[in-house]
A and B are shown apart, each in its own frame.
Chain A
């Protein structure tokens, strides 16, 4: 059984942005990447999957149950989200923030149990920040904050992990650390991970399948080999690209091409027809 099923889901904000007729599934043990240009609807899809907004048409099933019929607390036991930015309004300590991930399991009630503490402690250790436990959130660097955010999501012990650009604001070293934690966690279990990323190469390298969105619509869905092609990417991003192979992994690798160089004749100018042809 698929853990996540999205069927013909449409949601539009009043500004007109959103997603249209999106359909895809994610199975247990699968790492699915959602890629696409700015305002393609990637984050909207995550907000739909975590019930921050409700579909206007279509339906979403989480472990076989309609998302609208799942109480928020029950959903939070199944789905954990690592947001793009992680700011805490008051100077909570790292341990306290990670323990907040236990809220869905603490029965919405007062104080966390010994087991909650053990799980939070394990999440701190899994992300390598156990030594930060008693530090205040406002003393941390951006990279450390992101690790706390991931530890908090791991403490939630959800089957489905949604990540919105988890490496966007991080330097190279922290990008590596974050990615390693995610992959280790992901390979360790039967959970489903859905990763929104601007970084096509990162997504192509690590994801089992990719969903390419542009202007709210699915442009391609499948193995990175099938999705990361010049035919799909150029119309979706509205700029010429070249695709090569990674010398080690053999996965596709993308390079943007500046229009004024003009020497990559293969994918330079695209008509609207070509854009439509890009849909799968």
Chain B
């Protein structure tokens, strides 16, 4: 029964890799509340996280400063990774990612519009900022797909080129709007544009969590159908999948979580490209495994990247986007060249 053994090894649910990724996320979370200007021992950190205590300064640092930041990083990482996974599945292309497709730029444009109107920013409502970012992301994504479409297909060349064009266009729009902003608002905007995980308050986290759960839910629900979409749209139809409906819902969900991530933390590149790639190399291309795995690894990746951004030049902080790019680009090349070098691009 050798063949049968091979068969069940190949296709199916295996919990161990997912559990490892979850453990990695927990370790990342713990590390990120331990490290900083005041070092906290692991036991102390755990105590502060689990039990608390009213006027203990360690508890205050851990629970009010470091934990919200780690949670923000984790959720933004998960959101960007899932958005990348979603865009890759519906465009049948492993290079699609919110930044590459210009969707991040569209979301940024939405946010600066909200800032210009005085609706977003440090004192604004994070839900409104998210809504504007979502609208911008959707606008950019629709434009890119409309431009890239040739005979109902999305060839890689036109997809990447239209992503670059739309990204540049919306970046220019962002520049234009920032030029209109008052000088005292400008610094915050620039800081946010560079990608900024500074704690922004409980409401931002709550909005982000809500949107992330919705987006992850949609992707998880559609995961099996997204697999069939890899056979091409016609064959997905012939296997009973309403391909157009699946694509649309994933398209909207990916734009929504991109919007929420950008609105909360600005533009952070590479996460949506690297993380789905990494989990695909680890687990194969089955989206039913990739959705939870990408969320966990995306969260862990950005938490650890942020940790690095805080300590490399301490007490100064690097924008976390620098770290994700510096880690991401070589890792990307490494993953691409090793094991499954034949993966088509």
Q: Is A69 an interface residue (CB 8 A)?
A: no
Which of the candidate stretches B9-17, B191-199, B260-268 sits at the interface with the other chain? B9-17
Q: Output the least CB separation between B240 and chain A (Å).
A: 3
**B93 part of interface (Cβ distance < 8 Å):** yes
Candidates B7, B230, B235, B285; contact of A133 at CB < 8 Å? B7
Residue from the set A89, A125, A136 with the largest chain B CB neighbour count within 10 Å? A89
Cα A93 to Cα B283 with chains together (Å): 11
- Name the CB-closest residue of B to A114: B8
- The interface size bin for chain A is 35 or more
Within 8 Å of chain B (Cβ to Cβ): is A171? no
Q: Among B11, B13, B228, B241, which residue has its beta carbon within 8 angstroms of that of A93?
A: B11
Which of A51, A91, A106 has most chain B Cβ within 10 Å?
A91
A125-166 interface bits toward B, Cβ cutoff 8 Å, 1 = contact, 0 = none: 100001101101011000000000000000010000000000
- Interface flag for A103 (CB, 8 Å): yes
Question: In the complex, A139→B241 CA distance in Å?
Answer: 27
A73 at the interface (CB under 8 A from B): yes
Q: Collect the chain B residues with CB atoms within 8 Å of residue A99's CB.
A: 11
A60-95 vs B, Cβ < 8 Å mask (1 yes, 0 no) = 000000000001111111011101001111111111
Partner of B344, one of A47, A94, A104, A138: A138
Q: A52-B238, A76-B240 are in contact. Are A93 and B284 (CB under 8 A)?
A: yes
A81-B238, A90-B285, A156-B239 in contact; A103/B228 too (CB < 8 A)? yes
CB distance from B285 to the nearest CB of A (A): 4
Whether B10 and A117, one on each chain, are in contact in the complex, defined by CB atoms closer than 8 angstroms, is: no
With A96-B11, A136-B340, A138-B344 given, is the CB distance from A90 to B238 under 8 Å? no
Q: What's the count of A-B pairs with C-beta under 8 Å?
A: 125
Contact yes or no, A108 B11, CB < 8 A = no
Is the beta-carbon distance between A87 and B280 smaller than 8 angstroms? no
Asked whether A121 lies within 8 Å of B343 as measured between CB atoms, the reply is: no
Asked if A182 CB lies within 8 Å of chain B CBs, one says no
Q: Annotate B279-311 by CB proximity to A: 1 below 8 A, 0 otherwise.
A: 010001110100000000000000000000000
Chain A residues with CB under 8 Å of B13's CB are: 111
- Which one of B8, B285, B288 contacts A117 once the chains associate, using CB atoms below 8 Å? B8
Name the distance in Å between B344's Cβ and chain A's nearest Cβ. Answer: 6
Cβ of B227 under 8 Å from chain A = yes
Given contacts A52-B234, A96-B10, A108-B224, A103 and B240 within 8 Å (CB-CB): yes
Which partner residue on chain B sits nearest A75 by CB separation? B240
CB-CB under 8 A for A110 and B240, given A83-B234, A93-B11: no
What is the CA–CA distance of A141 and B224 in the complex, to the nearest angstrom? Answer: 26
Q: How far is the CA of A109 from the CA of B4 in the complex (A)?
A: 23
Q: Which residues of B contact A91 (CB under 8 A)?
A: 284-285, 340, 342-344
B215 at interface, CB cutoff 8 A: no
Closest residue of chain A to B88 (Cβ to Cβ) is A90
Residues of chain B within 8 A (CB-CB) of A97 are 231
Contact across chains for A108 and B240 when beta carbons are under 8 A apart: yes
B247 to chain A, nearest CB (A): 13
What does the 1/0 interface line of B4-44 toward A look like (CB < 8 Å)? 10111111110000000000000000000000000000000
Q: Mark A30-63, 1 if CB is under 8 A from B, else 0.
A: 0000000000000000010011100000000000
Cβ-neighbour of A131 out of B3, B92, B230, B344 (below 8 A): B3
Given A90-B280, A111-B288, decide whether A52 and B10 contact each other with a Cβ distance below 8 A: no
B222-254 at interface with A (beta carbon < 8 Å) = 223-225, 227-232, 234-235, 237-242
Would you call B10 and A133 a contact (CB within 8 A)? yes
A124 interfacial by beta-carbon distance below 8 Å: yes
Q: Is the CB of A50 within 8 A of B238?
A: yes
CA gap between A97 and B132 in the complex, in Å: 40
- Residue B328 interfacial (CB < 8 Å): no
Q: A92-B230, A100-B231, A109-B224 are in contact. Are A124 and B7 (CB under 8 A)?
A: yes
Could you say which residues of chain B place their CB within 8 Å of the CB of A72?
237, 240-242
Q: A75-B240, A89-B230, A111-B12 are in contact. Are A125 and B340 (CB under 8 A)?
A: no
Whether the Cβ atoms of A87 and B232 lie closer than 8 Å is yes
Q: Does A101 contact B (CB under 8 A)?
A: yes
Task: Please name the residue on chain A nearest to B280 by beta carbon.
Answer: A90
19 contacts between A and B (CB under 8 A): A72-B241, A72-B242, A76-B239, A89-B230, A90-B230, A90-B280, A91-B343, A92-B227, A93-B10, A93-B284, A96-B227, A103-B239, A109-B224, A117-B7, A117-B8, A130-B7, A133-B7, A134-B10, A138-B344
A contact residues vs B (CB 8 Å cutoff): 47, 50-52, 71-77, 79-81, 83, 86-97, 99-101, 103-104, 106, 108-112, 117, 120-121, 124-125, 130-131, 133-134, 136, 138-139, 156
A sample of 5 more A-B contacts (CB under 8 A), given A77-B240, A90-B285, A91-B342, is A71-B240, A74-B240, A87-B231, A121-B7, A133-B10
What are the 7 A-B residue pairs with the smallest beta carbon separation, nearest first?
A76-B240, A90-B285, A89-B92, A73-B240, A89-B230, A130-B3, A95-B10
